Structure 1
Amino acid sequence: MIHMELWDYNVTLVYEFFLLNFPDHPEFQIFLFAAFVVIYMTTILGNLSILIITRLDPHLQTPMYFFLGILAFIDIFYSSASLYNMFISFPSVKKGISYQGCITQLFFVHFLGTTEACLLAVMGYDRYVAICNPLRYTEIMNRRLCVQMVVTIWFIGFLHALLHAMMISHTIFCGPNQINHFICDVNPMLKLSCSSTYVHELLLFYVTGIIVLSCFTCILISYVFIIFTVVKIHSTKGRLKTFSTCTSHLTVVTLYYSSAGIMYMKPNSHYYLAYDWVIAVFYTTVTPMLNPMIYTLRNKQVKMALIQTICGKLSISKE
């Protein structure tokens, strides 16, 4: 902390924070740490497998798997950015992180989280085109459009994260420096501020709300058209087969949007910090771990590609 004169008052500014990680369960720190190591390793291995398969298998060179590879790439770094400080600081008694380090983590968590939310909307549009306009699918979802979509969602994620990082960097912290969380996030940091946070809370609620609702609306509209198209299919088997291609995406959307929406769009969120870390754990670590399993278990092409890749590697190693 640094002592200085500010607005004619003696103020001690905070330049280091201490993450309490799991404050409600100190007796389970070691168990929880071990659990998160397992979750993290599963996340890395699962998403790395998806990323490699979608890049190398010639049968998976379609827009759907291109976006799936991007999702796997995001999840690897999303989980890493969320758990990095907890892993490196666990052995120490005080889990300190610098002011700059805290803002950096906040930036990357929001950057990757917002990009993933937008990517799920893009993947919903891809399913709409594939089912409602199958004959023009390759024409509409050409590589140029796919790349433009990916660049756009990365740009939106960057701007959103930059907005919150800049707002936090202009927030004054002069009181307690213990963050009741396992990551540096906007809500728990605003709770420690000794300056007005009204504008930032409005931005958090409305800007994040606009992004989430816009993406969710896009997904909703896509699936309304998909349902209308599926209903027109006369064969029951055909309807189930067509809609089964969307179940993985719908599952991921439900898991991600429900947890993230509860976290950032509930009113007066700074009054409900006690269990915010539980919700944050779900969408920053659990969901990235589950995504590869969801897409692999419900997708025959990915399963076959995975089996062929593993068998190919084993046969090479035996030779």
Structure 2
Amino acid sequence: MEVLMINQLETLADKKKLSHAYLLEGIQREDIKQQAMDFAVRILCDDAQSESRIRSHNYADFYWLETEEQTIKKDMIEDVLHRMNQKPVEGRYKVYVIVDFDKLTVQGENSILKFLEEPPPNTVALLLTTQASHILPTIHSRCQHIVIQSKSTYEQMLKDHIHPDLASTLSALSFSSDQAQGWIEENEFESVRQATVKWADMMQKDSQMGLIQIVELLQIANERTGQLLLLDMLQLYFQDMIYIKVERSERLSFPDHQVAFEQLSTNVSLQTLTRWMDVVQQGKQKLLQYVSAMLVLEHIAIEIAKG
């Protein structure tokens, strides 16, 4: 499972190197929906007429499921899957979008889980949520993750007198302004942030010291909540290096470390950075399964040392 971003997905769409399922998560529901629609258009077509039909939900290879009901029931999911099991008729791909994916019933989740395990060829799922923690871990593990940042949330943090550098990281983590204040006041957010960047820098410069530094790291992030936050930040760190390489530095989660990222990114490929993000995500899943944090961080450090 990888955590990606919209710009990287645009490149994948252009090169037709797509996964079968993406989980788009964030705070602002409308922002997520807009990004999902834009990505679906990028996958399915390259002309204005087809784009217009997709955006008006009048395209045979595109299905958008959104309901005002409290739950998304099994029969709704089965209707989507029935349509997606058919071959594309207008192009190479079929795309289906499920809004508020966290509203699925248990039966609905089980139905789509089987579909995600054995998807039809050239079929792409875009699963949208503002409550990613409410979704089964087995579904998480079969999707690539996309975090949708909200500009309005970032601006609210600035109004709440949160430092712009911290606000960039907090909004990238999909925290609301209230959650951000809580982390800063109660959970020593800055200490974890600084320790994460220091460790990530060290792992690339001196792998042996990167392993030694884990002890110091776990003294700062000594509870599971902080350790999970650390891994989320580590993914954002590598994501920033990708942004630097593709010249999207206006999107950085750690803007105060841009110069360091520019220097470090010259020695590593996009493919390697993406693999590192995947390694970190796998580590997060192990941590959620209560594997020792020391073992998880050691494994990450060893994998990154491989280059």
Provide the TM-score with structure 1 as the length reference: 0.23
Greater relative contact order, per chain length (Cα 8 Å cut-off, separation 6+): 1
The structure with more radius of gyration: 1
Provide the TM-score with structure 2 as the length reference: 0.24
Point out the structure with the larger helix share. 1
